[in-house]
Amino acid sequence: MSEHSKGSIDTEQRLMQIIASHAIKHPGKKLLKWELAAAAGITRQALHRYYGHLEPYISGEKSVSEELDDDGKNTALSTGIERLKILEAELVSLKAGKDKEIARVRAEYVTSLMKSDLALHDVDGLRARLEAQSLHNDILINQIKSLEAELTALKLARRDAAPAQNAALGTVMACDVNLKKIFTAYQGSDDTTKFEEEKLKAVLEAFARAKKVGPADATIVVFIERYLCSFEFFCKNFHGRRSGNFVIVRTPIFNALQLKTLVLSKLSVDSPVKIFLPYCESKSVAKAQRAFYFPYVPEHEIAIADKIQGMSISDPRVDEIVTYRITQGE
Protein backbone atom coordinates (compact mmCIF):
# COMPACT_ATOMS: atom_id res chain seq x y z
CA MET A 1 0.00 0.00 0.00
CA SER A 2 1.37 3.39 -0.96
CA GLU A 3 1.92 6.14 1.58
CA HIS A 4 -0.72 8.27 -0.12
CA SER A 5 -3.29 5.51 0.09
CA LYS A 6 -2.49 4.90 3.76
CA GLY A 7 -2.70 8.64 4.46
CA SER A 8 -6.00 8.82 2.59
CA ILE A 9 -7.50 6.08 4.74
CA ASP A 10 -6.33 7.78 7.92
CA THR A 11 -7.58 11.13 6.76
CA GLU A 12 -10.95 9.65 5.75
CA GLN A 13 -11.31 8.06 9.20
CA ARG A 14 -10.44 11.38 10.78
CA LEU A 15 -12.97 13.13 8.58
CA MET A 16 -15.67 10.63 9.57
CA GLN A 17 -14.85 11.12 13.25
CA ILE A 18 -15.08 14.92 12.83
CA ILE A 19 -18.42 14.55 11.05
CA ALA A 20 -19.69 12.20 13.79
CA SER A 21 -18.46 14.51 16.55
CA HIS A 22 -20.19 17.50 14.91
CA ALA A 23 -23.44 15.50 14.63
CA ILE A 24 -23.29 14.71 18.36
CA LYS A 25 -22.34 18.21 19.54
CA HIS A 26 -24.47 20.16 17.07
CA PRO A 27 -27.40 17.99 15.98
CA GLY A 28 -29.28 19.44 13.06
CA LYS A 29 -26.62 22.09 12.36
CA LYS A 30 -24.96 22.02 8.93
CA LEU A 31 -21.19 21.32 8.84
CA LEU A 32 -19.35 23.68 6.53
CA LYS A 33 -16.75 22.13 4.26
CA TRP A 34 -14.02 24.62 5.03
CA GLU A 35 -14.52 23.96 8.76
CA LEU A 36 -14.26 20.18 8.14
CA ALA A 37 -11.12 20.58 6.02
CA ALA A 38 -9.46 22.85 8.58
CA ALA A 39 -10.28 20.44 11.42
CA ALA A 40 -8.82 17.51 9.43
CA GLY A 41 -5.69 19.47 8.52
CA ILE A 42 -6.23 19.37 4.74
CA THR A 43 -7.14 21.89 2.12
CA ARG A 44 -10.64 22.35 0.82
CA GLN A 45 -9.38 21.40 -2.63
CA ALA A 46 -8.04 18.10 -1.30
CA LEU A 47 -11.34 17.43 0.45
CA HIS A 48 -13.19 17.97 -2.78
CA ARG A 49 -10.70 15.93 -4.89
CA TYR A 50 -10.03 12.89 -2.74
CA TYR A 51 -13.02 12.71 -0.41
CA GLY A 52 -15.94 13.81 -2.56
CA HIS A 53 -17.64 10.47 -1.81
CA LEU A 54 -18.17 11.76 1.78
CA GLU A 55 -20.44 14.59 0.53
CA PRO A 56 -23.71 12.84 1.60
CA TYR A 57 -22.37 12.51 5.17
CA ILE A 58 -21.16 16.13 5.25
CA SER A 59 -24.49 17.49 3.99
CA GLY A 60 -26.49 15.20 6.29
CA GLU A 61 -28.23 13.32 3.49
CA LYS A 62 -26.83 10.09 4.95
CA SER A 63 -26.21 9.31 8.59
CA VAL A 64 -22.58 8.87 9.55
CA SER A 65 -23.71 5.96 11.71
CA GLU A 66 -24.30 3.87 8.57
CA GLU A 67 -20.64 4.16 7.58
CA LEU A 68 -19.43 3.49 11.10
CA ASP A 69 -21.66 0.40 11.43
CA ASP A 70 -20.55 -0.92 8.10
CA ASP A 71 -16.95 -0.81 9.25
CA GLY A 72 -17.94 -2.21 12.65
CA LYS A 73 -15.64 0.20 14.43
CA ASN A 74 -17.81 2.49 16.48
CA THR A 75 -21.19 0.96 17.21
CA ALA A 76 -21.44 2.88 20.49
CA LEU A 77 -20.90 6.17 18.67
CA SER A 78 -23.53 5.25 16.08
CA THR A 79 -26.02 4.34 18.77
CA GLY A 80 -25.30 7.62 20.58
CA ILE A 81 -25.99 9.65 17.44
CA GLU A 82 -29.30 7.93 16.82
CA ARG A 83 -30.27 8.32 20.47
CA LEU A 84 -29.37 11.98 20.26
CA LYS A 85 -31.69 12.43 17.28
CA ILE A 86 -34.51 10.77 19.17
CA LEU A 87 -33.92 12.96 22.20
CA GLU A 88 -33.81 16.05 19.98
CA ALA A 89 -37.19 15.11 18.48
CA GLU A 90 -38.60 14.50 21.94
CA LEU A 91 -37.27 17.88 23.09
CA VAL A 92 -39.00 19.65 20.19
CA SER A 93 -42.23 17.80 20.99
CA LEU A 94 -41.97 18.66 24.68
CA LYS A 95 -41.32 22.32 23.88
CA ALA A 96 -44.43 22.47 21.65
CA GLY A 97 -46.50 20.80 24.38
CA LYS A 98 -45.12 23.18 26.98
CA ASP A 99 -46.09 26.21 24.86
CA LYS A 100 -49.65 24.88 24.51
CA GLU A 101 -49.86 24.21 28.25
CA ILE A 102 -48.62 27.72 29.04
CA ALA A 103 -51.27 29.18 26.71
CA ARG A 104 -53.98 27.03 28.34
CA VAL A 105 -52.96 28.01 31.88
CA ARG A 106 -52.72 31.67 30.94
CA ALA A 107 -56.22 31.57 29.47
CA GLU A 108 -57.62 29.83 32.58
CA TYR A 109 -56.11 32.48 34.84
CA VAL A 110 -58.29 35.14 33.17
CA THR A 111 -61.02 34.44 35.71
CA SER A 112 -64.44 36.05 35.92
CA LEU A 113 -63.03 38.47 38.49
CA MET A 114 -60.31 39.59 36.07
CA LYS A 115 -62.90 39.98 33.31
CA SER A 116 -64.97 42.09 35.68
CA ASP A 117 -61.92 44.27 36.36
CA LEU A 118 -61.43 44.71 32.61
CA ALA A 119 -65.08 45.67 32.20
CA LEU A 120 -64.78 48.21 35.02
CA HIS A 121 -61.69 49.64 33.35
CA ASP A 122 -63.62 50.06 30.08
CA VAL A 123 -66.52 51.71 31.95
CA ASP A 124 -64.13 54.13 33.65
CA GLY A 125 -62.67 55.07 30.26
CA LEU A 126 -66.12 55.63 28.78
CA ARG A 127 -67.17 57.71 31.81
CA ALA A 128 -64.09 59.89 31.42
CA ARG A 129 -64.84 60.47 27.73
CA LEU A 130 -68.48 61.33 28.46
CA GLU A 131 -67.46 63.77 31.21
CA ALA A 132 -65.03 65.47 28.83
CA GLN A 133 -67.76 65.73 26.16
CA SER A 134 -70.24 67.11 28.70
CA LEU A 135 -67.73 69.74 29.80
CA HIS A 136 -67.16 70.74 26.17
CA ASN A 137 -70.93 71.02 25.61
CA ASP A 138 -71.27 73.24 28.69
CA ILE A 139 -68.57 75.55 27.33
CA LEU A 140 -70.36 75.80 23.96
CA ILE A 141 -73.72 76.47 25.66
CA ASN A 142 -72.19 79.27 27.72
CA GLN A 143 -70.69 80.80 24.58
CA ILE A 144 -74.10 80.65 22.85
CA LYS A 145 -75.80 82.32 25.82
CA SER A 146 -73.14 85.04 25.87
CA LEU A 147 -73.65 85.73 22.16
CA GLU A 148 -77.44 85.77 22.59
CA ALA A 149 -77.10 88.28 25.43
CA GLU A 150 -74.94 90.53 23.23
CA LEU A 151 -77.49 90.24 20.42
CA THR A 152 -80.36 91.15 22.75
CA ALA A 153 -78.43 94.20 24.01
CA LEU A 154 -77.84 95.35 20.43
CA LYS A 155 -81.52 94.92 19.58
CA LEU A 156 -82.59 96.92 22.63
CA ALA A 157 -80.17 99.72 21.72
CA ARG A 158 -81.53 99.73 18.20
CA ARG A 159 -85.13 99.80 19.48
CA ASP A 160 -84.39 102.75 21.77
CA ALA A 161 -82.89 104.69 18.88
CA ALA A 162 -85.79 103.88 16.53
CA PRO A 163 -88.26 106.70 17.55
CA ALA A 164 -85.90 109.52 16.57
CA GLN A 165 -85.10 107.79 13.31
CA ASN A 166 -88.74 107.08 12.52
CA ALA A 167 -89.69 110.76 12.84
CA ALA A 168 -87.62 111.52 9.76
CA LEU A 169 -88.63 108.37 7.87
CA GLY A 170 -92.39 108.64 8.31
CA THR A 171 -95.07 107.31 10.64
CA VAL A 172 -95.91 103.84 11.86
CA MET A 173 -99.21 103.16 13.58
CA ALA A 174 -100.31 99.85 15.08
CA CYS A 175 -103.81 98.35 15.22
CA ASP A 176 -103.67 95.49 17.68
CA VAL A 177 -106.18 92.73 18.36
CA ASN A 178 -106.93 91.70 21.94
CA LEU A 179 -106.31 88.00 21.36
CA LYS A 180 -105.77 87.24 25.03
CA LYS A 181 -109.36 88.20 25.82
CA ILE A 182 -110.69 85.99 23.01
CA PHE A 183 -108.54 83.01 23.99
CA THR A 184 -109.50 83.33 27.66
CA ALA A 185 -113.19 83.26 26.76
CA TYR A 186 -112.64 80.26 24.48
CA GLN A 187 -110.98 78.24 27.26
CA GLY A 188 -114.22 78.42 29.20
CA SER A 189 -116.50 77.32 26.34
CA ASP A 190 -114.46 75.13 23.91
CA ASP A 191 -116.73 76.37 21.14
CA THR A 192 -114.41 76.55 18.09
CA THR A 193 -117.03 78.07 15.80
CA LYS A 194 -117.69 80.92 18.20
CA PHE A 195 -113.97 81.31 18.73
CA GLU A 196 -113.31 81.74 14.97
CA GLU A 197 -116.20 84.19 14.69
CA GLU A 198 -114.91 86.32 17.57
CA LYS A 199 -111.38 86.28 16.15
CA LEU A 200 -112.57 87.38 12.66
CA LYS A 201 -114.74 90.09 14.21
CA ALA A 202 -111.76 91.48 16.15
CA VAL A 203 -109.59 91.46 13.00
CA LEU A 204 -112.23 93.33 10.95
CA GLU A 205 -112.54 95.95 13.70
CA ALA A 206 -108.76 96.42 13.63
CA PHE A 207 -108.81 96.96 9.85
CA ALA A 208 -111.68 99.45 10.24
CA ARG A 209 -109.58 101.43 12.71
CA ALA A 210 -106.62 101.28 10.35
CA LYS A 211 -108.60 103.05 7.61
CA LYS A 212 -109.59 105.82 10.02
CA VAL A 213 -106.38 106.53 11.95
CA GLY A 214 -103.81 106.26 9.17
CA PRO A 215 -102.73 109.01 6.77
CA ALA A 216 -104.38 109.04 3.38
CA ASP A 217 -101.27 107.69 1.73
CA ALA A 218 -100.58 105.08 4.44
CA THR A 219 -99.82 101.52 3.38
CA ILE A 220 -101.72 98.78 5.21
CA VAL A 221 -99.26 96.23 6.60
CA VAL A 222 -100.87 92.87 7.32
CA PHE A 223 -98.84 91.18 10.06
CA ILE A 224 -99.74 87.46 10.02
CA GLU A 225 -99.73 86.56 13.69
CA ARG A 226 -98.18 83.06 13.93
CA TYR A 227 -97.38 83.40 17.65
CA LEU A 228 -93.63 83.43 17.04
CA CYS A 229 -92.60 86.99 17.93
CA SER A 230 -93.73 90.18 19.65
CA PHE A 231 -96.14 92.32 17.61
CA GLU A 232 -94.98 95.38 19.55
CA PHE A 233 -91.34 94.63 18.74
CA PHE A 234 -92.22 94.23 15.04
CA CYS A 235 -93.96 97.61 14.95
CA LYS A 236 -91.16 99.50 16.76
CA ASN A 237 -88.54 98.16 14.40
CA PHE A 238 -90.52 98.35 11.20
CA HIS A 239 -88.89 101.57 9.94
CA GLY A 240 -85.61 99.75 10.06
CA ARG A 241 -86.97 97.85 7.06
CA ARG A 242 -89.03 100.50 5.22
CA SER A 243 -89.62 104.27 5.03
CA GLY A 244 -93.01 105.92 4.59
CA ASN A 245 -96.37 105.94 6.35
CA PHE A 246 -97.71 102.59 7.53
CA VAL A 247 -100.55 101.19 9.57
CA ILE A 248 -99.75 97.70 10.84
CA VAL A 249 -102.65 95.37 11.61
CA ARG A 250 -102.21 92.24 13.67
CA THR A 251 -103.93 89.48 11.68
CA PRO A 252 -104.19 85.91 13.10
CA ILE A 253 -105.58 84.46 9.86
CA PHE A 254 -103.67 81.62 8.17
CA ASN A 255 -105.70 80.95 5.04
CA ALA A 256 -105.01 83.08 1.94
CA LEU A 257 -108.56 82.71 0.60
CA GLN A 258 -110.12 83.79 3.91
CA LEU A 259 -107.75 86.73 4.14
CA LYS A 260 -108.66 87.89 0.63
CA THR A 261 -112.43 87.37 0.73
CA LEU A 262 -113.20 88.22 4.37
CA VAL A 263 -110.67 90.95 5.14
CA LEU A 264 -108.92 92.55 2.18
CA SER A 265 -112.19 92.82 0.26
CA LYS A 266 -113.32 95.36 2.89
CA LEU A 267 -110.53 97.75 1.85
CA SER A 268 -110.53 100.22 -0.99
CA VAL A 269 -108.96 98.92 -4.20
CA ASP A 270 -106.62 101.91 -4.01
CA SER A 271 -105.26 100.93 -0.58
CA PRO A 272 -101.76 99.50 -0.97
CA VAL A 273 -101.22 96.36 1.11
CA LYS A 274 -98.06 94.58 2.17
CA ILE A 275 -98.17 91.19 3.91
CA PHE A 276 -95.46 90.14 6.37
CA LEU A 277 -95.23 86.45 7.28
CA PRO A 278 -92.74 85.53 10.05
CA TYR A 279 -91.15 82.09 10.36
CA CYS A 280 -88.64 80.42 12.69
CA GLU A 281 -86.09 77.80 11.61
CA SER A 282 -85.45 76.49 15.14
CA LYS A 283 -88.18 74.55 16.93
CA SER A 284 -86.55 75.18 20.28
CA VAL A 285 -86.49 78.95 19.67
CA ALA A 286 -90.13 78.88 18.54
CA LYS A 287 -91.10 76.97 21.67
CA ALA A 288 -89.23 79.43 23.90
CA GLN A 289 -90.80 82.46 22.16
CA ARG A 290 -94.29 81.06 22.51
CA ALA A 291 -93.77 80.14 26.17
CA PHE A 292 -92.69 83.73 26.88
CA TYR A 293 -95.11 85.76 24.71
CA PHE A 294 -98.12 83.46 24.15
CA PRO A 295 -98.73 81.09 27.09
CA TYR A 296 -102.47 81.67 26.73
CA VAL A 297 -102.78 80.50 23.10
CA PRO A 298 -104.53 77.09 22.72
CA GLU A 299 -102.56 74.19 21.25
CA HIS A 300 -104.90 73.76 18.29
CA GLU A 301 -104.37 77.39 17.30
CA ILE A 302 -100.56 76.90 17.43
CA ALA A 303 -100.91 73.79 15.24
CA ILE A 304 -102.92 75.71 12.60
CA ALA A 305 -100.39 78.56 12.64
CA ASP A 306 -97.53 76.09 12.06
CA LYS A 307 -99.15 74.58 8.98
CA ILE A 308 -98.79 77.73 6.91
CA GLN A 309 -95.46 77.71 5.06
CA GLY A 310 -96.03 80.52 2.60
CA MET A 311 -98.77 82.74 1.20
CA SER A 312 -99.75 83.66 -2.32
CA ILE A 313 -102.65 86.06 -2.98
CA SER A 314 -103.83 87.37 -6.33
CA ASP A 315 -105.34 90.70 -5.33
CA PRO A 316 -104.89 94.20 -6.82
CA ARG A 317 -104.37 95.67 -3.37
CA VAL A 318 -101.43 93.39 -2.47
CA ASP A 319 -98.18 94.65 -3.96
CA GLU A 320 -95.74 92.69 -1.77
CA ILE A 321 -95.58 89.55 0.39
CA VAL A 322 -92.54 89.34 2.68
CA THR A 323 -91.48 86.15 4.46
CA TYR A 324 -88.91 86.95 7.10
CA ARG A 325 -87.01 84.95 9.71
CA ILE A 326 -87.28 85.82 13.40
CA THR A 327 -84.63 85.17 16.06
CA GLN A 328 -84.89 84.70 19.80
CA GLY A 329 -85.74 87.92 21.65
CA GLU A 330 -87.83 89.48 18.86
Q: Give the start-end residues of each E strand in the chain.
A: 172-175, 219-224, 246-251, 273-279, 318-325
118 CB-contact burial (10 Å; exposed 0-12 / middle 13-18 / buried 19+): exposed
pLDDT higher than threshold 80 for residue 120: no
Rounded CA-CA distance 165/323 in Å is 24
Which is higher by pLDDT, 290 or 190? 290
Supply the DSSP symbol for 323. Answer: E
Q: Give the start-end residues of each E strand in 259-312.
A: 273-279
How many of the other CB atoms lie within 10 Å of CB of 84? 15
What is the per-residue DSSP string for 162-185?
HHHHHHHH--EEEE---HHHHHHH
Which is higher by pLDDT, 262 or 140? 262
Rounded CA-CA distance 193/254 in Å is 16
Find all residues with CB under 8 Å of 288, minimum gap 6, and list them. 328
CATH of domain 170-325: 3.40.50
User: Could you give the C-alpha distances from 142 to 114, 284, 330, in angstroms and in order?
Assistant: 42, 17, 21
Asked if 292 contacts 244 with a C-beta cutoff of 8 angstroms, the reply is no
pLDDT higher than threshold 90 for residue 242: no
pLDDT at residue 213, rounded to an integer: 83
pLDDT higher than threshold 70 for residue 164: no
Asked if 179 contacts 199 with a C-beta cutoff of 8 angstroms, the reply is yes
Which is higher by pLDDT, 132 or 155? 132
pLDDT at residue 81, rounded to an integer: 61
Find all residues with CB under 8 Å of 8, minimum gap 6, and list them. 50, 51
- String of b and e for 225-261 (b: at least 16 CB within 10 Å)? bbbbbbbeebbbbbbeeeeeebbbbbbbbbebeebbe
Confidence of residue 168 (pLDDT cuts 50, 70, 90): low
pLDDT digit string, tens, across residues 219-229: 999 999 999 99
What length is written for the chain? Answer: 330
pLDDT higher than threshold 70 for residue 117: no
pLDDT digit string, tens, across residues 247-289: 999 999 999 999 999 999 888 888 899 999 999 989 999 999 9
pLDDT higher than threshold 80 for residue 236: yes
pLDDT at residue 6, rounded to an integer: 47
The rounded mean pLDDT for the chain is 81
pLDDT digit string, tens, across residues 44-62: 898 888 888 888 888 877 7
pLDDT higher than threshold 80 for residue 319: yes
pLDDT higher than threshold 60 for residue 3: no
pLDDT at residue 65, rounded to an integer: 63
Report helix, strand or coil for 8: helix
Find all residues with CB under 8 Å of 262, minimum gap 6, and list them. 200, 204, 253
* Domain boundaries of the chain, sorted by first residue: 3-107, 110-169, 170-325
pLDDT at residue 2, rounded to an integer: 43
pLDDT higher than threshold 80 for residue 27: no
pLDDT at residue 71, rounded to an integer: 46
pLDDT higher than threshold 60 for residue 93: yes
Over range 23-52, report the average pLDDT: 86
Over range 126-149, report the average pLDDT: 81
